[in-house]
Amino acid sequence: MNFRTLKPILLLAVIAVFTLACKEANTTEEKIKDETAVEQKSDAAATPEKTSENEVALNPPHGQPGHRCDIAVGQPLNSQPKQQSNVNVNPPHGQPGHRCDLAVGAPLPE
């Protein structure tokens, strides 16, 4: 092979290397930004929210630290639990008495 034949091949190889190197660097920077944002969100979610006027802690979403299932999400943590109704409702999947043909929490027919 002569240099004339190798020149375009080498040029394409150099362009490919630089293109891939730049693409990997951008991906790494984006991953770092995403991980930082997730850490900041999880740090904020780890503590119950407080309102600025009364400084009352609010019930965080289900699964978050400090969540109370007996009161609604977003309600003050010092709230009284909601009253249970006498209506039988469809329990969560896998619980005794669950019916898959009804939505979870829907009233069960008597």
Name residue 89's beta-bridge partners: 107
Helices vs strands, H then E, count in the chain: 1, 0
Q: What is the pLDDT of residue 91?
A: 87
Q: Given this model, what pLDDT does residue 36 score?
A: 62
Cα gap 82→57, rounded to integer Å? 17
Per-residue pLDDT tens digits of the chain, which is 110 residues long:
677 788 888 888 888 887 776 655 555 566 666 666 655 555 554 555 555 555 788 889 888 888 887 888 888 888 887 665 556 888 888 888 888 998 888 888 87
**CA 29 to each of CA 15, 22, 32, 39, 43: distance values in angstroms, whole numbers, following the listed order:** 21, 11, 5, 15, 21
